[in-house]
Structure 1
């Protein structure tokens, strides 16, 4: 298995929602760049699951932050498959550094995993955790409407975060997530068909909020219908 296939398999196992969405990208290079972005995100997430020591997590996240800095400084990517694939995606798509930095900062926030004190704090975190990779995914697919998907980022965060971190009870969290998703739908309908796979995984927000996430076949069917209709 070569490095590209290994990254693809890594994302398939760790992030099946976005991996399934990437299957609808016809262009091979664009799909590889999406997978590079999602693999980078998964590596950041793995830092938190791989250690219970806050100091060690901070050291590892700092390593990733410095590695990204080096790529944008024109230095060769460090010898990590996800970083090397990300560096290629950055060059091919002229990706910005700020969203990548935001993704790392979100994981620093996760070290303490403190509950959010209100909706504003959650929204800011969702921008970093979900909005930043979403904007980069759209950029990979030739679309620059990332800012229009701030509500979608919040819906995705609410659907995936542990309930104890949210500032509401389960019923209110579900309501807020559904409202945020509804606010994101007009922007999704404006996307070009080629860019829609960057947001197709949001079609799985509703079942996640309701605690009824479908199996692989059901998820593929939902995403296929989303792509065909252009609706999340």
Structure 2
């Protein structure tokens, strides 16, 4: 699990940093495993040009997750090892690969794009929040997930991202404090949308401020 944590710190420092604010070591490790799975699934769409090849790779993950649920088999994969004892609704986790299959094709419209973000990034963020507090709800984190995805993908400017975050602040305010580390990295969305690329110290300060204030 330590290797998985180190890999996330290297490949996904934003979510790794936000997970440092989870006091419970077991819950923190569960988030690391979830984020590592999400990165594996999201990478498929970036690496393949043929949607059919992408579907095959995502089908492998679906079958592997179903096998994990049924028998505990991990196929020797570190991500599956990390998820084996994780306390998530595993049927929802096993459904993530199919959600990414739909994202292999171009979105076409803004409405389709937002729906896909909700089905992928939004679900993952909600799973993380739910792991940290049982009262967390998907609608509390949906706009944070949308804003961060749009900003990092260059699909919205700073003004648009700021508007998305502002719209979601009311719902976010009702998110239990213990669950806030699940969304804290979205505090970087406005910086990314403005073309900024903050360094490690800047990221740490911004995420720390978000956790302390409960605002993105």
TM-score by length of structure 2 reads 0.89
State which of 32, 37, 61 in structure 2 corresponds to 1:64: 61
Q: Distance in 1 between matches of 2:91 and 2:166?
A: 29
Q: Which SS does the other structure have where 1:25 is aligned?
A: coil
State which of 4, 18, 23 in structure 2 corresponds to 1:26: 23
Distance 1:100 1:131, change over 3 A: farther
**Which residue in the other structure is 2:128 paired with?**
137
1:37-186 correspondence runs (5 A): 37-89=34-86, 93-98=87-92, 100-101=94-95, 103-112=96-105, 114=106, 116-143=107-134, 144-163=136-155, 171=157, 174-186=158-170
1:203-218 correspondence runs (5 A): 203-218=187-202
Contact kept, 8 Å, 1:100 with 1:133, in 2: the verdict is: no
Contact kept, 8 Å, 2:20 with 2:28, in 1: the verdict is: yes
1:11 matches 2:42: no
Q: Aligned-pair distance for 1:196?
A: 1.0
Q: Aligned-pair distance for 1:51?
A: 4.2
Q: Distance in 2 between matches of 1:77 and 1:211?
A: 40
Contact kept, 8 Å, 2:66 with 2:94, in 1: the verdict is: no
Alignment deviations for residues 140-171 of structure 1 (CA, whole Å, 9 cap, x no partner): 102422223222222122112254xxxxxx54
Q: Aligned-pair distance for 1:54?
A: 3.6
Contact kept, 8 Å, 1:48 with 1:110, in 2: the verdict is: yes
Contact kept, 8 Å, 1:100 with 1:132, in 2: the verdict is: no
Count, aligned residues: 215
Contact kept, 8 Å, 1:61 with 1:108, in 2: the verdict is: yes
Q: Distance in 2 between matches of 1:41 and 1:106?
A: 11
Q: Distance in 1 between matches of 2:90 and 2:80?
A: 15
Alignment deviations for residues 75-129 of structure 1 (CA, whole Å, 9 cap, x no partner): 433321101211211xxx242423552x3234323434x2x33222012101122
Alignment deviations for residues 167-222 of structure 1 (CA, whole Å, 9 cap, x no partner): xxx54xx4332221112222332233321111101111110111113111001000
Contact kept, 8 Å, 1:22 with 1:34, in 2: the verdict is: yes
**Which residue in the other structure is 1:194 paired with?**
178
TM-score by length of structure 1 reads 0.83
Gaps of 5+ in 1: 164-169
Q: Distance in 2 between matches of 1:225 and 1:66?
A: 40
Q: Which SS does the other structure have where 1:185 is aligned?
A: helix
